[in-house]
Structures are given as structure tokens and as C-alpha cells.
Structure 1
Amino acid sequence: MKLRTTAAATMAAFALVLSLPGSASAAEGYFHYKYVDGYAQEQHVTLHDPHSGKCVNLYAVGDDEVQPGYGPHNDTDSAVVVYTGANCQGPEWKLRAHGNPARDDLLVRSVRFAVTPG
């Protein structure tokens, strides 16, 4: 009975490890941006280890019906393309890995991080 329980626990742990994202699925580090909320207060948002290869509509600004975010700063190990439109549409700019903060006039609604080899 102990052998079956041990084997089942081992298989469950192995399945859990396989389901965890690998290093190629996330940029490592932080991506920051700012936005002005409904009370006219500037807010700062930080994404920690954001997903790579997928379009991400940013929190509070990822809809074309609201004011965009601004001043993005890519402090991850992956290049990122920032878009002025939702769903990675519209004008775009590439920010290099571990770059300096962009100026506040660079607007952003969505981003896509480059997939880094794992």
C-alpha cells in the first residue's frame, strides 16, 4: 500500500513540475508604467516576470475607451514591444531589455515581450 501511495505522490509531483511555466515563457524582471485614475491621481503599476510571446492588455489602460498609460520602463531580461492600442494594435515601439525609463509622452495600452530561449 505504501508503494502505491508513494508512486501516486511522485507522479502527482512530476505532473505539477511539468505544468509549471519554463524560463522561456516569462520575461524575468519588472515592467513598469503609469496611468491617471478616475480621481486624477497618478498610479504606478509593476508587472513581475510578465508572460512572453503573448499580447497583454495592461491593467486599467488596456481598453481603447480609457486613457492610455504612459512612461513605460522595461527592466526585464527581454525586449518588449509597446503598443498605443489595445490588443497589440496601432503604433508600436520596441524597448530593449534592462533599458532606461521611457519619456512620459510614450503612451501604452498593451505589450508583447519577446520569447527568450530557455
Structure 2
Amino acid sequence: MRLRVAALTAALVLAAPASALAADGKFEYRYNDSTGDIESGQLVDPESRECIGIPEVENEHGTFAFRPRNATTSTVTLFKGSDCEGDHYTLRPGGKASDRLLFRSVAFS
């Protein structure tokens, strides 16, 4: 009986649509625009287990996102480099950090 329940559970997990692999909620951050003004950005229901570049800064030399707020249901790892490379820091769901934490890409668990 337990084996059948485990097999059914595994089948349901594997059959789940791709949207089930998203972190529910918003990931918010700040960045400086081309004039140096602070702007707000966010990722809504971001995909899990994928490297996501912060669109406003990922390809801009010398610029970073900062002041992250993880209002999703998943843990997020923030990377200083593009393509989820370099120094990294992890925020739990509901976690936030200051302006000193600089990042260009993220990955949700």
C-alpha cells in the first residue's frame, strides 16, 4: 500500500505542469538607471532551478542590483556575476538585505 502511494505521488510530481516549478510571489530589488536615479524592479513568480539575469543590470558593465526583498515562497541565491557566477548570498522566503548586497543574477530553489 505504501509503495502504491509513493509511486502515485512520484507520478503526480513528474506530471505537474512547468508552472509548478515557479517560486510564487515577487522578488523585488533596486538598481540605478542610466542617469544614476534609483529605480525599482521585480520578478513575479520567477522560474525555479534556472539562472535568471536581472534584466536592468545583467549586461551593464559596473552596474548591479541591490536591496533585494524575497517575497516569494522559495529560497533565492543572489550572484554578483551574470550567469549565476561569482560571489553569492542566499535569502530565505521573506528575507531582505541592504544596499551593500550587489548582484546581477539569481536562482530560486
Tell me the TM-score normalised to structure 2 length: 0.80
Letter aligned with residue 73 of structure 2? D
Q: What 5-or-longer segments of structure 1 have no aligned partner? A: 1-17
1:88 is aligned to 84
Q: What 5-or-longer segments of structure 2 have no aligned partner? A: 1-14
Give the conservation status (yes or no) of the 8 Å contact 1:64–1:86. no
Counterpart Cα distance in 1 of 2:102 and 2:54: 12
> Percent of counterpart pairs with the same letter?
34
Does 1:30 pair with 2:26? yes
2:18 is aligned to 21
Among 56, 68, 72, the alignment partner of 1:72 is 68
1:15 is aligned to none
Does 1:109 pair with 2:104? yes
Counterpart Cα distance in 2 of 1:106 and 1:51: 22
Letter aligned with residue 24 of structure 2? E
RMSD of Structure 2 on Structure 1 (CA): 1.5
Counterpart Cα distance in 2 of 1:43 and 1:22: 28
**1:51-80 superposed Cα distances (whole Å, 9 cap, x missing partner):** 100000111111262411111111100000
Counterpart Cα distance in 2 of 1:88 and 1:63: 13
Which one has the largest radius of gyration?
A: 1
1:8 is aligned to none
What is the aligned length?
Answer: 94
